[in-house]
Structure 1
Amino acid sequence: MAKPISELMNTLSKSDQATVEAKAVEMITALRLSKLRKQLGFTQAQVAGAMHIKQPTVAELEKRADIQLSTLRQYLQALGTDLEIYATLPDGSRIDILHDLRND
């Protein structure tokens, strides 16, 4: 019988756990960006052309766990979409971070 992932993770050192968690975040990020790109009907080459970069750079970008907001915005704009980031305050109200930054 297969063990739950939490049991397997507990058998690893803290360093190895951090490595596994970082790789998992990287894989999830890649799946989300590439899935969105494919869902919208774009190839990596088309995105690369719109971003004025090479296709292998798009492939690497889609695999990154940590990406600069400016790069993510450019990637999403190449797909014809916009990036929106909100901060939710304790009272439940939301602030449009990107809009507020652009208007300061």
Structure 2
Amino acid sequence: MTKKFRDLRQSMSPAAQARSHKKAEAMLADLPLAELRQARHLSQEQLAEMLNVKQPAVAKLEKRADMYISTLRRFIEAMGGELEIRAHFPDGDVKINQFEDLEAKQVPVA
């Protein structure tokens, strides 16, 4: 007999529930683009429409390991987010801001 997740969670101790919740939050904080899109309840078709591209372009983008920062920024902003680039060091994080006005600084190619 299958059990509902809600019932399983209720049978867990409060400490186990807290550990489970913390682990779920950590997993949601570290996602590939395709899973991030799915977590935001968006289909590739919906995102493609927002980006004014075709669905295969979104599929291709989600599989890329290397892309322009401006492309990633458009992808994140289309999902309602904001791209922020940080460098993590043992003594603290540093926000890298040279890419913030990237699109405004780009010169059109003639």
The structure richer in helix per residue is 1
Same fold (TM over 0.5): yes
Report the Cα offset of residue 102 of structure 1.
Answer: 3.5
Structure 1 segments unaligned to the other structure (5+ residues): 1-30
Structure 2 CA distance, aligned partners of 1:102 and 1:32? 22
- CA RMSD across the alignment: 2.0
Using CA pairs under 8 Å that are at least 6 residues apart, name the structure with larger relative contact order, 1 or 2. Answer: 1
For 1:49, the equivalent position in structure 2 comes to 49
When normalised by structure 1's length, the TM-score is 0.60
Q: Does 1:96 align with 2:89?
A: no
Which residues of structure 2 form unaligned runs of 5+? 1-30, 102-110
Superposition TM-score, scaled by structure 2 size: 0.57
Greater C-alpha Rg: 2
Q: Distance in 2 between matches of 1:80 and 1:51?
A: 12
State the distance in 2 between where 1:70 and 1:101 align: 8
Aligned-pair identity in percent equals 42
Q: Does 1:59 align with 2:59?
A: yes
